[in-house]
């Protein structure tokens, strides 16, 4: 990856995260690239008026996901060779979070799973968290995040869930569309049924992923 001019970090506390990620990606990414993605991740998350806490921590996690996706694009074997699945919906607060959590729970380390939203909300829907917890799936660390070029390019399979024309299309990728109802504002009984419908689709997806 080509080096670029070193950007100014919007929060000096981000420097520690840059250092950790630079070590992790040494030989694959220039330090300037790492710093640029950390700074951009912070700014994108901070732009959401509802996301005001833990920004430094979340920015490092968001940047780490983007860097891992870039590494996969450049060298799939060196990055682990596992299939990468990206779930995309509008707000990344309901359907895509449920699908990502259910796939990660069932597939474990054999699949790399991520999710994003074209217009991310400020937090995951509480009923989504409850429905997943009831199914034994933890969602403690989940947070809505915006869709970026890196995660789209790094995905082997992109699954759209109601984001319409805003969902990305990258030639050569496998695309699926799951017409699942939006749980936003729905009572918990309805959210449970949406969870179960997504879980049934996860079963079919696991049977179709290459190399697992």
Report pLDDT for 173: 83
Q: How far is the C-alpha of 85 from the C-alpha of 67, rounded, in Å? A: 16
Torsion of CA 196, 201, 204, 209, to 10 degrees: -120
Q: Where are the beta strands (DSSP E) in the chain?
A: 84-89, 112-117, 157-160, 174-177
- Residue that finishes a domain, picked among 35, 52, 81: 81
61, 156: one domain? no
91, 73: one domain? no
pTM as predicted: 0.90
The residue with tokens 């496998």 is 174
Q: Using CA of residue 68, residue 71, residue 72, residue 78, what is the dihedral sign? A: negative
Give a yes or no: residue 2 inside a domain.
no
The enclosing domain of 184 has a CATH number of 3.40.50.2300
125, 211: one domain? yes
Q: How far is the C-alpha of 85 from the C-alpha of 83, rounded, in Å? A: 7
94, 68: one domain? no
Give a yes or no: residue 3 inside a domain.
no
Rounded alpha-carbon distances, angstroms, from residue 180 to 56, 84, 88, 149, 196: 33, 21, 12, 24, 11
Tokens linked to 195: 């969870």
13, 101: one domain? no
100, 158: one domain? yes
Report pLDDT for 77: 73
141, 209: one domain? yes
- Residue that finishes a domain, picked among 48, 81, 114: 81
Give a yes or no: residue 4 inside a domain.
no
Give a yes or no: residue 139 inside a domain.
yes
**In tens digits, what is the pLDDT along the chain, a chain of 212 residues?**
444 456 789 899 999 999 999 999 998 889 999 999 999 999 999 887 565 668 999 999 999 999 999 998 888 776 577 899 999 999 999 999 999 999 999 998 899 999 999 999 989 999 999 999 999 998 888 999 999 999 999 999 999 998 766 666 676 689 999 999 999 999 999 999 999 999 999 999 999 987 66
77, 90: one domain? no
The enclosing domain of 49 has a CATH number of 1.10.8.1060
Q: How many domains does the chain have?
A: 2
Parent domain of 138 = 82-212
Q: Are 93 and 70 in contact (CB under 8 A)?
A: no
Give a yes or no: residue 175 inside a domain.
yes
Report pLDDT for 100: 97
- Residue that finishes a domain, picked among 29, 51, 81: 81
Report pLDDT for 3: 46
Tokens linked to 203: 């079963």
């Amino acid at each position: 990856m080509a080096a670029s001019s070193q950007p100014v970090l919007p929060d000096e506390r981000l420097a520690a995260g840059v250092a950790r990620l630079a070590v992790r990606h040494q030989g694959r990414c220039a330090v300037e690239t790492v710093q640029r993605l950390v700074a951009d991740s912070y700014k994108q998350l901070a732009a959401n008026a509802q996301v005001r806490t833990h920004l430094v921590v979340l920015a490092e996690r968001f940047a780490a996901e983007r860097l891992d996706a870039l590494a996969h694009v450049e060298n799939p074997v060196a990055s682990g060779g596992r299939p990468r699945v990206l779930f995309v919906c509008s707000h990344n607060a309901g359907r895509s979070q449920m699908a990502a959590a259910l796939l990660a729970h069932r597939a474990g380390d054999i699949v790399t799973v991520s999710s994003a939203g074209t217009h991310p909300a400020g937090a995951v829907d509480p009923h989504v968290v409850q429905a997943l917890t009831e199914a034994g799936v933890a969602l403690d660390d989940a947070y809505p995040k915006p869709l970026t070029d890196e995660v789209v390019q790094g995905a082997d399979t992109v699954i759209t869930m109601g984001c319409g024309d805003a969902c990305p299309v990258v030639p050569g990728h496998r695309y699926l569309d799951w017409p699942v109802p939006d749980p936003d504002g729905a009572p918990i009984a309805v959210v449970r049924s949406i969870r179960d419908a997504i879980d049934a689709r996860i079963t079919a997806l696991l049977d179709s992923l290459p190399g697992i």
